[in-house]
Homo-oligomer: A and B are copies of this chain.
């Protein structure tokens, strides 16, 4: 495809090129939240664009962009998503379009708006789909058996807490909980000493699936709307003590941070790449004719207070062993239903080489080897005041396609009453 050009200036290093057009929820100062699309340094106000007739060729019963969440828009379905995308791309390249004509009211500088949690998230599931992560973490928790026997046969997952998913820049309060460093002395309750991040993507469900009916693996992507950056903050000392036998609970449920922008599956179609070969072969319900992952570069940095941000890891979503289609097929094989707005997170995305670890637990080998930020400044786990910043993008034919940032600053624990 020839690269089109817009009448709007879009910086080359912007995550929000013509090929992206991710969705989010924004508000102007004193304004109410509504649906927006990021382009370059701007947000396109879709509720107002709807009123100005930009989308009149595909009439709806109501303006689904006048909403504090994307769910109603998503529910209209994929032909409408494609229609909106095409209208915006066409009009961004046509100096005589309505969008250009009304640019002064339809476009708002991103620096002037507030970005909100973009979804009503009914359910959030966290997978464990990076083989590198599973092995390296498994070795720390269970040296004798890092990879459980089930891991290569199914995409292991657990149900996470939906209420505490927050948008980028929401403060993260250091969680308290039970830890048991000296088993003979019993547990104590204290603020976590091992606060960690987990670098993930979260896929957003775009279509309800009926209760009782498994989604076939070859149709699974029809149920996806797009993806976000996702930080599954974790308290490792709490996790170590509580996780047997029912899995992580307070060690994970205090917060998860998402990027404000959902990049659509249509935009992501330009970065598909073969997923790692699977051996042993999975069972037929997890077998795809063609297994595709996403060639998305993922970066994480730590910015201590009064310091610059120091890059800590650079990994890639293409390392993931299980595909999102396999995750959906497994999630629903029991008959579990999916709902619009649900999140299916990948689990920590690590890579095969040093510097590709998606969490500190891995990078520090369980806290035993500090990660250097600069001369004289290291981290084993996160300290109060640390800001953790995730970014991710791929370079498409029409420019960069990224998520903005998923970031959060660690605050001291809430005062107890």
Give the complex CA separation of A138 and B245 in angstroms: 9
A241 within 8 A of B: yes
Q: Mark A147-166, 1 if CB is under 8 A from B, else 0.
A: 01110011011111111101
A213 within 8 A of B: yes
Give the complex CA separation of A366 and B189 in angstroms: 35
A280 within 8 A of B: yes
Which listed residue, B175, B246, B331, touches A247 by the CB 8 Å rule? B246
Which listed residue, B212, B242, B245, B334, touches A177 by the CB 8 Å rule? B334
Interface segment out of the listed A46-54, A73-81, A249-257, A317-325 = A249-257
Shortest distance from the beta carbon of A368 to any chain B beta carbon, whole Å: 21
Task: Judge whether A153 and B141 touch: CB under 8 Å.
Answer: no
Contacts of A158 in B (CB 8 A): 158-159, 246-247, 249
Task: Judge whether A162 and B162 touch: CB under 8 Å.
Answer: yes
Give the complex CA separation of A123 and B160 in angstroms: 9
Task: Judge whether A161 and B159 touch: CB under 8 Å.
Answer: yes
A284 within 8 A of B: yes
Contacts of A212 in B (CB 8 A): 171, 173, 254, 414
Contacts of A258 in B (CB 8 A): none
Give the complex CA separation of A342 and B154 in angstroms: 29
Contacts of A243 in B (CB 8 A): 245-247
Which listed residue, B142, B187, B246, B333, touches A156 by the CB 8 Å rule? B246
Give the complex CA separation of A208 and B160 in angstroms: 18
A116 within 8 A of B: no
Interface segment out of the listed A98-106, A178-186, A302-310 = A178-186
Give the complex CA separation of A258 and B160 in angstroms: 21
Contacts of A163 in B (CB 8 A): 122-123, 211, 336-339, 342
Task: Judge whether A334 and B238 touch: CB under 8 Å.
Answer: yes
Contacts of A29 in B (CB 8 A): none
Give the complex CA separation of A416 and B250 in angstroms: 37
Task: Judge whether B245 and A246 touch: CB under 8 Å.
Answer: no
Across the interface, name the chain B residue whose C-beta is closest to A154.
B178
Shortest distance from the beta carbon of A198 to any chain B beta carbon, whole Å: 13
Contacts of A385 in B (CB 8 A): none
Shortest distance from the beta carbon of A128 to any chain B beta carbon, whole Å: 6
Which listed residue, B178, B336, B413, touches A153 by the CB 8 Å rule? B178
Task: Judge whether B250 and A247 touch: CB under 8 Å.
Answer: no
Task: Judge whether A334 and B254 touch: CB under 8 Å.
Answer: yes
A118 within 8 A of B: no
Task: Judge whether A333 and B247 touch: CB under 8 Å.
Answer: no
Contacts of A342 in B (CB 8 A): 163
Task: Judge whether B122 and A336 touch: CB under 8 Å.
Answer: no
